[in-house]
Structures are given as C-alpha cells and as structure tokens.
Amino acid sequence: MSDNLNTITQKINEKFPGEILSSELLYDFAVITLKHDKTHDVLKFLKEDEGLNFHFLTDLTGMQTADEKQLGVIYHLHNMMKNIRVRIKTYFDINKPEIPTATDLWPAANWMERETYDFYGVRFTGHPNLKRILNVDEMDIFPLRKEYPLEDQTRDDKNDKMFGR
C-alpha cells in the first residue's frame, strides 16, 4: 500500500512541484494534504492521468481545524480498476472559505458540495446551484462549525448533574 502512496505522491510532485504539504499512510489509506490554490488542478490530474485513473469520487466533505481558524475539504477518490483509494485534504482561511467546484470533474460532487456549504459554509466557486440542501434557506449560521455549541443554550429544563457537569 505504501507503494501506491509513493507513486501518487511522486506523480503529483512531478506535475505540481511544491503543492503537497504532507503525505502519509493512515490505516492502509493514502492521505495527501495539498495547498489550497491548485487543488482543482491536482484533482483533475488524478482523474485524467492514465496511470492513476481516480475516476470515482466516493465522498467529499468539510472539516474545521481544532484552532477554529481554518476550514477544509476532504475528497475520497477511488480507482476501481486497480482498487486503489486516496484521501485528498486541503485547508483554507475560515474568513475566505472558497474553493473551486469539482462538479465539472465528477457531477456527483453536486450534492456533496451543497451539503458541505450547508453545514460548514464552504463556497464552491463555479458550482451550478450552490444553495442549502438540508437546512432552511433562512438559516444564517453553519451548524457544524465549532463556534456553535452542540447543545441548545436556551433550555432551562436540563439538569447538568445528570451529565456529570
């Protein structure tokens, strides 16, 4: 499995020198973290390169760093012919949460990007219909960001002793 990580990393470095921030093998899963500027170009390369052929987007989701200063996007790609998977991660400033859409590469990214926008506020530039998919349109927060509490702070019927607080 580490051979796959080395091959993928080497090909990305040849085509996009300096764009990889880190690469590691986690639980037999190749994980590559990229600079955010060329993420779309690298994704396109991973899909269209004949040797790599990551033609299937398994999943796309958002994330937020523990320090709450950055948001990010995770892409899970799959080469079904060789049964190779790779996780691509990228981070960007929470004050400018923008990244190009992947819908031009994988049309299935449409709903995944809308969900990521809905819950994290990541704006996918060039998306054909970027609007909320699960929450109401009038909602002015992004509920999976860490700055929003997990519990309803207005409730007074909770007994904190029951929860070990």
Enter the tokens of residue 162: 């029951």
Do 123 and 101 touch, CB atoms closer than 8 A? no
pTM of the full structure: 0.89
Residues 77, 143: Cα–Cα separation, whole Å? 26
Percent of the chain with pLDDT over 90: 82
Report which DSSP code applies to 151. S
Enter the tokens of residue 48: 């269209």
> Per-residue pLDDT tens for 68-114?
999 999 999 999 999 999 999 999 999 999 999 999 999 999 999 99
Q: What is the pLDDT of residue 1?
A: 58
Q: Name the strands in the sheet holding 84-93, side by side, starting at the edge strand that comes first in the sequence.
A: 20-26, 29-34, 84-93, 70-79, 56-64
